[in-house]
Amino acid sequence: MTALEKRSISGLSLIFALRMLGLFMILPVFSVAADQYSGSTPLLVGLAIGAYGLTQAMLQIPFGMLSDRIGRKKVIAFGLLLFAMGSVIAAMADSIFTVILGRLLQGSGAIAAAVMALTADLTRDDHRTKAMAGIGISIGLSFTVALASGAALEHWLGLAGIFWLTALLAMLGIAVLYFWVPNPQRCIVHRDVEPMPKQFRKVLGNIELMRLALSISTLHFLLTLSFFALPMALHHYAGVERSQHALLYLPIMLIAFVCMVPFILLAEKQRKMKMVFLGAIVALGIAQLSWAILPSTAFVILTGLWLFFTAFNVLEASLPSMMSKISPLDCKGTAMGVYSTGQFLGAFLGGALGGLIYSYLNIHAVFAFGAIVTLFWWWLVKPMQAPRHLNSRILHIEPLNQANAPRIMAEINAIPGVIETMVVIDEGVAYVKFSPDDTDTDALDAFSVQST
């Protein structure tokens, strides 16, 4: 990778990380500290936790499309400003309704699709996977830091201080965008990372893709559902002071991250993706069930938390890979857009339903509902086909026109191991999906350099 590409990826990863920190730092503390706001009820507290997901789900695809028209940086900067405004509103709030408004505004700064598109603009196609992996790692690390630091920051700064800090992080993200991230030389629609409106019907009608979209939605549903109840379980049932929660979350998160690695290797290297996928869902269900039926001691809660986050990390890392493997080439970006929308919608529903259930029952009922949802999820995805181990590549072909496109596509499809080819004349490229174990990649690469 060139120095410019490395600079682009580091800057955009940092922007993503700063925003994720702002969204998730309140997760481990909000439900036990929200009684400071007037009008607080369990339902409204749950809505405040998950509210960002609703506006994020509604706007992330439109914002991505808008970035094609007016420019990536303008949309990203506007989204970060919305996020900062939402943080300020929440920081100044004395009513739970104002906090909800702030969280909705935070979520309306839906920059994920625009950041991915800018990443594609600033990196060469053969380094696209590395770039997206770098952003994915930054998201995972920021999530870990957010959970570990949120409890400590609430003890030192209070909830208002956390929201002020998130506003500052958003402004820092704007500075990184304009002073560190390079300006792109091109701004085109990338079918592999951006949604195409004409493909939505095809994606929504693909049962395998929708199973995975439902999976990421359920995963983040369980996340916000659990973190509505877990801080209260630790504080009110296990007797752990709020100031001590951070000391418990950090080692659990680190151990879970280490425990995740063998399962990812088993899924990718040993081609056991479906087995690992279903096993992780079972682990999530066991964690929820343990919280629901066992005594709420610190040992039980933290053991379940380790199991939960090990499985959560496995699924968070493997689901995008599965989505990429089974998505048809002509709608890969659209499929990922639907996937992301499902993720944020699940986060909203988890917080809202967690609060609703707790309003009428108790914490154990919240976890029991999570276990039931997990069982239904496992049943729904069990019939899915195991995804084949496939890679994708983008070949730049010059000249490419109406006359030679059919011949080039036929020649690429004739290479053993090639599964699917899509030639896009306007972009001058061929998108190819192939089996890395059966394909001569040199034969593929030859199409990028040969005179056609």
Mind spelling out the 3-state secondary structure of 142-160? HHHHHHHHHHHHHHHHHHH
What is 391-449's CATH number? 3.30.70.100
The span from the CA of 23 to the CA of 106, in Å, is 8
Could you tell me whether strands 391-396 and 418-424 are parallel, antiparallel, or unpaired per DSSP bridges?
unpaired
68, burial (CB in 10 Å: exposed 0-12, middle 13-18, buried 19+): middle
What ranges do the domains of the chain cover? Answer: 1-194, 199-389, 391-449
pLDDT digits 0-9 by tens, 144-185: 888 888 888 888 889 999 999 999 999 999 999 999 999 887
Q: What is the three-class DSSP state of 332?
A: helix
Which pLDDT score, from 0 to 100, does residue 450 have?
Answer: 44
Which pLDDT score, from 0 to 100, does residue 155 have?
Answer: 81
Do 199-389 and 391-449 agree at the fold level?
A: no
Q: What is the three-class DSSP state of 116?
A: helix
Which pLDDT score, from 0 to 100, does residue 452 have?
Answer: 34
Four-way CATH pick for 1-194: 3.40.50.2020, 1.10.10.10, 1.20.1250.20, 1.10.3720.10:
1.20.1250.20
Q: Residues of the chain whose pLDDT is less than 50?
A: 450-452
What letter does residue 424 receive in the DSSP assignment? E
**Bridge partners, residue 393, by sequence:** 432
What is 199-389's CATH number? 1.20.1250.20
